[in-house]
Amino acid sequence: MSQEVLIVPKRDAFGKAAIRELKKSGMIPAVVYGLNEPPVAIAISPKAVARVLASDTGMNSVMFLQREGTDIKRHVIIKDLQRDPITSRLRHVDFMRVDMTLKVRVKVPVRLNGTSVGVKSQGGVLDFAHREIEVECLPSIIPSHIDVDITNLAVGDSVRFEQLSLAPNVVFTGDAHQVVCSVRGKAAEEEAAATPAAEPEVVKKGKKDEKK
């Protein structure tokens, strides 16, 4: 668990002009919410957020937010990010308060390890269906990622949620039969791509046939 402490000022001014002034000072807008408490608008350094995102636990890092000028600290995780669509720079951050004694649901990235025998030796194509998986656990044991060994996956094989190895007291949510990844035959892949979609039947409207 990250011990990062981010000191943040409360944000009282809103609107486009206020955001422009905020950015000039090297900060971006953010909000803190959760645990049945009112949301609080704050400002934060994008560099501090980037540092957290670059850590091993990334988006799921548990950190402290400390209000500027006070000794009050709250555990939070990053719930959502907004980036500029052109520059990819951070524009806004949503933080969610967490209670270290209560379970949370978070999405954890999946990491595929090895090269599938189906791809390497059988001409198959790897289909990575779920790159993130939602899990439920205490904030202190959120995994940084989930490893999946695909070395022995042959053409036609797949890995499902129920086959994943998770740490004790960490459980996945959703359908246990969902496929994380699979290896399909290249011929089947090409055939599916080459087969044109069936055109919908067109019913022509016109005069009824005349009597012959």
| 27-53 residue pLDDT tens | 889 999 999 999 999 989 999 999 999
- Could you tell me if residue 202 is inside a domain? no
List the one residue out of 92, 123, 114, 106 whose CA is nearest residue 27: 92
Output the pLDDT for position 70: 85
Domain encompassing residue 65: 5-97
- Could you tell me if residue 143 is inside a domain? yes
What is the chain's mean pLDDT, rounded? 85
93: CATH:
2.40.240.10
Please say if the pLDDT value at position 177 is more than 80. yes
Q: Please, what is the Cα angle at 144 between 140 and 149, to 5 degrees?
A: 130
Same domain for 21 and 83: yes
Same domain for 68 and 40: yes
Residues 119-133: tens digit of each pLDDT: 999 999 999 999 999
Same domain for 92 and 13: yes
User: What percentage of the chain reaches a pLDDT higher than 70?
Assistant: 86
Sheet holding 73-83, edge to edge: 5-8, 63-67, 73-83, 90-97, 28-34, 37-44
Rounded to two decimals, what is the model's pTM? 0.76
Output the pLDDT for position 22: 75
